[in-house]
Amino acid sequence: MAENKPEILQRKVGLFETIAMIVGLVIGAGIFGMTATITGMTGPSVFIAFIVACLPSLFVVLFEIQLTGTLPVTGANYVTVTRVLSPFWGGIISFSAVLALLAANILVAVIFADYFIAFVQSFNPAFAMDGRILTIAILVLFALINYLGVSLASWLQIVFFLLFVIGMIVFAITGMANFDPAKLTPLFPKGTIMFVVAVVLASYVWSGLLALADIGGEVKNPRRNLPLALIISFLIILVLYAIQPLALVATMDWQEVAKIGNPAIMVDAGRLMPGWGLYIVFIAALGAIVTTINALTWSASRDLVAWARDGMFPKAVAHLSKFKTPDVAILIIIIIEVLGAMIAATIDKYALASVLASSLITIILAWCVFRIPKKMPDLYKKSLFKFNTFWRWFTYIGALITSGIILLSGIFLDMMDENGDPTRFPWVVLIFLGSLLLGTIWYLARRAYLKGKGVDLDRNMQKVADATLAEAEEKLSA
């Protein structure tokens, strides 16, 4: 019996939209949500912490260039692990990836609520509102936008991307014009250990780079555009991460930044640019935050589609709406996010959960990408970006060492109290391990269930699904 033609996502996303998505994924929560927290940990050296934190992500860029050039499909990270390493690890990593994406998205939505409330209070100090209402509202809004189609989501991504980049540049230039070197002394007021802690937490703000590969099935000419977009985006992000925190701590005392919290940049802009500065930074923050929410919702739902194609989830999860978007997957994502938002954890806890999950994914995925030439030789031949043996080893070892250090440091950070002593119960680590355990239980239960129906889940996960193969080989230059 002939099979129906596989249902695949449409390639409507160009190079510029892809760059807008990557920069939005990475910057949103980083600059406007984590700067104050990290400044409180390390003082004026916050801008150095952001730069140093890019090192693990440099290796992510190197292996994602190889991955997206070889397998530009929906859920590419998951597909690669299951085909190259094993279905078991693919099943476990799937749940870890969801933890990373959803924790990051909730964090960004919480930051949106903080900024919105602070902005309104600048005009009406008596204004009060439960931030969880706004957090849930913005998550639901962008789930709806993603449901309505890729074209709408990518168009909004470009608009908000331009808004926040322009706003960040205006603030940085104004900050440099009012630069006060005295505010940068001492550069490391809390010592080396707290600087290292700050770098670990700052590594969260680069974790969005991993999510790009998951939308590979919707990018035009992906074997060219995905690697190119990664390189361009990395350079843009590095510059913005250096200049904006520097402009902030060079114009506002670092203790004040830490005390004010997330809206510190907005408060500083109001002082440096009276009248219109507050609006410029609020619009920039709004643009940065919503681009991240939009892109993370986009990426997370595509992961679920990849799982459903293999049978890890029921096939219905891969269903596409009349807008050619994964409606069931988006619904599942928003339900989990709403439940997570109701927990109302602190920002650093959401960030740490994302750091732990992303570090583990990076270590495993780097090894899988290293083995792609042997495991997927036919697809690898189609790649426009092929690394020689030295650079493949360099990428893998670099990712292993840097992400391994971040992972171990993150575990210690979860136990550390205000004095730097490991006295706290590591409940974020416990949740992280719980997600891995849940992934293991789900994989084993799903495999046993399908085996009873005569379906071999491992076999499905080791071959490339028809829809995935179609995305990898059909009209890639369209």
Task: Give the model confidence (pLDDT) of 116-171 as tens digits.
Answer: 888 888 788 888 888 888 889 989 988 898 888 767 767 777 887 888 888 888 88
CA distance linking residue 24 with residue 105, whole number of Å: 12
3-class secondary structure, 354: helix
75's torsion region: left (phi>0), alpha (psi -120 to 50) or beta? left
Q: Quick: pLDDT tens for 355-373.
A: 788 888 889 999 999 998 9
On whether residue 160 sits in a domain, the answer given is yes
In angstroms, the CA 163 to CA 320 distance is 31
Q: What is the pLDDT of residue 431?
A: 81
Is the pLDDT at 210 greater than 80? The verdict is no
CA dist 478 and 475 (Å) reads: 5
Q: Where are the beta strands (DSSP E) in 346-474?
A: none
Q: Please tell me the total count of domains within the chain.
A: 1
| In-domain check, residue 6 | no
User: Taking the C-alpha atoms of 335, 337, 339 and 344 in order, what is their torsion angle to the nearest 10 degrees?
Assistant: -160
State pLDDT tens for residues 169-208.
888 889 999 999 999 999 999 988 889 888 887 887 787 7
In this structure, are residues 238 and 54 in contact, taking their beta carbons and an 8 Å threshold?
yes
Residue whose pair of structure tokens reads 């890639």 in the numeric block: 476
Average per-residue pLDDT in the chain?
A: 82
Task: Report the Cα–Cα distance between both ends of the chain, in Å, rounded.
Answer: 30
pLDDT of 3 > 50? The answer is no
Is residue 104 situated within a structural domain? yes
Q: Does 212 reside within a domain?
A: yes
The CATH number assigned to the domain holding 282 equals 1.20.1740.10
Structural domain containing residue 320: 15-466
* Residue 1 counted as domain residue: no
Report phi then psi at 130, rounded to 5: -70, 115
**pLDDT value for 25:** 74
Give the DSSP per-residue string, 216-273.
GGGBSSHHHHHHHHHHHHHHHHHHHHHHHHHHHHTTS-HHHHHHH-TTHHHHHHHHHS
Q: Is residue 92 assigned to a domain?
A: yes
Structural domain includes residue 324: yes
> Looking at the whole model, is its pTM more than 0.85?
no
Among positive and negative, which fits the CA dihedral 200, 300, 236, 271?
negative
User: What is d(CA 164, CA 160) in angstroms, rounded to the nearest whole number?
Assistant: 6
pLDDT score, position 9: 58
In-domain check, residue 432: yes
d(CA 407, CA 217): 30
